[in-house]
Amino acid sequence: MNDQVQTYEQGAGYAYGAEQRNRVLRNTYWLLALSLAPTVLGAWIGVATGITASLRGGVGLMVFLVGAFGFMFAIEKTKNSAAGVPVLLGFTFFMGLMLSRLIAMVLGFSNGAQLVMTAFGGTAAVFFAMASLATVIKRDLSGMGKFLFVGVIVLFVGSIINVFVGSSAAMMAISVAAIGIFSAFMLYDVKRILDGGETNYISATLALYLDIYNVFQSLLALLGIFGGERD
């Protein structure tokens, strides 16, 4: 009898855990979709007004770092409160503004709009593939986190150096590496939610948003370099 009760409790606990994980994943996807609206708005305002056009070199890097890390710190502090979602959406608006300079540059090509849509479609395809893979893969991927984090640090340092060096070859190498690393991060972050390693949907949304943002930005940069056409 006791064995039956214990088995029932274990089954009920597993069902509750699965329900909770699915709820976190569902809320994450909804918030992730919502977060794209402020990003598009920020990018549109940035392109239309040219407000970020002067943010070049060290100045642009400083504004980006202070703004991005400031927002991420605020998100971490408010993720368990009602202010968490508005702060996250404010962050995505800021990131859209920061992206507008690259978008404006690409739109300067005769096929610029097509390149932007291609980057968007490519990013969506990568996310769909990684999210789908995460639902079927059974292996524990928690060990990937350390290697991917090291990769991000190397990318971060390389990007900062290249801001001052301005090497096109280095930019291409960084963009290709970023697409690979952040695509892997999509798989890792979705799998982490499914395995119960991430229980806060605001933190989960932030992680996936950064993955998508970096893949899109890197893919757009590569398309601009290799596919941009002048009139």
Mean pLDDT of the chain: 87
- The residue segments making up the domain with residue 96 are 2-225
pLDDT reported for residue 139: 84
Q: Residue 153 domain-assigned?
A: yes
Q: Residue 187 domain-assigned?
A: yes
Q: Residue 231 domain-assigned?
A: no
Per-residue pLDDT band at 54 (split at 50, 70, 90): confident
Q: Is the pLDDT of residue 5 over 60?
A: no
Q: Residue 36 domain-assigned?
A: yes
Q: Kindly list the distances between the CA atom of residue 7 and the CA atoms of 2, 18, 45, 96, 199, in Å, as whole numbers in the listed order.
A: 9, 16, 58, 50, 25
Task: Return the number of other C-beta atoms located less than 10 Å from residue 7's C-beta.
Answer: 10
Helices (H), 50-167: 57-78, 84-107, 112-136, 144-165
Per-residue pLDDT band at 57 (split at 50, 70, 90): low
What's the whole-model pTM score?
A: 0.88
Question: How many angstroms separate the CA atoms of 86 and 81, rounded?
Answer: 10
Q: Residue 230 domain-assigned?
A: no
pLDDT in tens, 210-223: 999 999 999 999 99
Q: Residue 221 domain-assigned?
A: yes
Question: How many angstroms separate the CA atoms of 231 and 226, rounded?
Answer: 15
pLDDT in tens, 93-147: 999 999 999 999 999 898 889 999 999 999 999 999 999 999 898 888 888 888 9
Domains held by the chain: number: 1
pLDDT in tens, 148-175: 999 999 998 998 888 788 778 888 999 9
Q: Residue 46 domain-assigned?
A: yes
Q: Is the pLDDT of residue 59 over 80?
A: no
pLDDT reported for residue 1: 54
**Burial readout 171-207 (b: 16 or more C-beta within 10 A, e: otherwise):** beebbebbbebbbbbbbbbbbbbbeebbebbbbbbbb
pLDDT reported for residue 13: 44
Q: Which residue has the tokens 């690259």?
A: 102
Token pair listed for 38: 């402020």
Question: How many angstroms separate the CA atoms of 69 and 67, rounded?
Answer: 6
Q: Residue 73 domain-assigned?
A: yes
